[in-house]
Amino acid sequence: MQQIQSEDSGFWLLTKGSSVYLQDGELPCGKAVEFGLAGRDGLVIGALDNRPLWLVNECDDERDYVYLRDLLGLPERTFNLLARGVELNHFFRTHRFCGKCGAKTAITQDEWAVQCENDACSYRTYPVICPSIIVAVRRGKEILLANHLRHKGGIYTTLAGFVEVGETFEQTVQREVFEETGIKVKNIRYFGSQPWAFPNSQMVGFLADYANGEIRLQEEEICDAKWFRYDEPLPPLPPQGTIALKLIQATLELCKHSTE
Ligand SMILES: [Zn+2]
């Protein structure tokens, strides 16, 4: 990071946890001095509308922050840049000391990383991204959707879970679907991905087909899971902008054309 000068200008991203500061619904844009940011530490993390996007080091202030998840309606590129800021901020704040020798770290100038200030160590750590699979399962003209405990009584969505050490993404898909619903899947295909800064995950999306099994819920995580026909009323679904909804829409389209 570097000290922000009064005349530095661009878009200003202030983050607090997984929330970002908006002024009248927009990212502040202009000179640092206009927003009281001169003298704070910052780092350019990309560009928006051909202007630099500055991430400003988090500090306690009285500004109103908006939860990033409530901004899913933004264009994907903008949303992902905000996610980058949130994730970098989370990384810097949780890596202030070297994980190897315990000395203080400093943010490096040449790449997004922190480096141990103990010369005998100099260990460099890079932003931690935790991959998580997310998968939509189809059986003929039906899609498997689950009501998770955290959405109890609300939306039904796809299944998801963190990749474990030593696992391929495909193995995670099989394990998570089976653990959560008792269903075995086949024909697993990569679909797309979405940075998910809550606080530092990456959703890796897949489509899969039903192989065998009957629904058996993992009650610590899932309240309900059902097969829904594409041409019958659907439950409330996740919001626009989520990879979950894109997976569901793609699967419903496959259901429509299925001859099974
Ligand atoms: Zn060290």
Residues 6+ apart with CB under 8 A from 166: none
Phi, psi values for residue 122, rounded to 5° = 55, 25
How many angstroms is it from 125 CA to the middle of ligand 1? 10
**pTM higher than the cut 0.85:** yes
Q: Which domains does the chain have, with CATH numbers?
A: 2-94 (3.90.79.20), 130-256 (3.90.79.10)
How many angstroms is it from 18 CA to the middle of ligand 1? 28
How many angstroms is it from 116 CA to the middle of ligand 1? 5
Residues annotated in the binding site, as ranges? 69, 98, 101, 111, 116, 121, 126, 160, 176, 180, 194-201, 221, 244
DSSP assignment of 207-242 equals EEEEEE------TTTEEEEEEEETTS-----PPTT-
Give the pLDDT confidence score for residue 43 in this predicted structure. Answer: 93
How many angstroms is it from 112 CA to the middle of ligand 1? 17
Asked if the model's pLDDT at residue 169 lies above 90, the reply is: yes
- List pLDDT tens digits, range 174-231: 999 999 999 999 999 999 999 999 889 999 999 999 999 999 999 899 999 999 999 9
Structure tokens at 9: 């200008």
**What angle is formed at CA 173 by the lines to CA 172 and CA 178, rounded to 5 degrees?**
100
Asked if the model's pLDDT at residue 151 lies above 90, the reply is: no
* Contact between 234 and 158 (Cβ < 8 Å): no
Give the pLDDT confidence score for residue 153 in this predicted structure. Answer: 81
Owner of token pair 């001169």: 38
Q: Nearest to residue 139, comparing CAs of 180, 187, 171?
A: 187
How many angstroms is it from 42 CA to the middle of ligand 1? 24
Asked if the model's pLDDT at residue 125 lies above 90, the reply is: yes
Give the pLDDT confidence score for residue 238 in this predicted structure. Answer: 96
How many angstroms is it from 19 CA to the middle of ligand 1? 30
Q: Nearest to residue 173, comparing CAs of 153, 144, 198, 149?
A: 144
Q: How far apart are CA 67 and CA 254, in angstroms?
A: 34
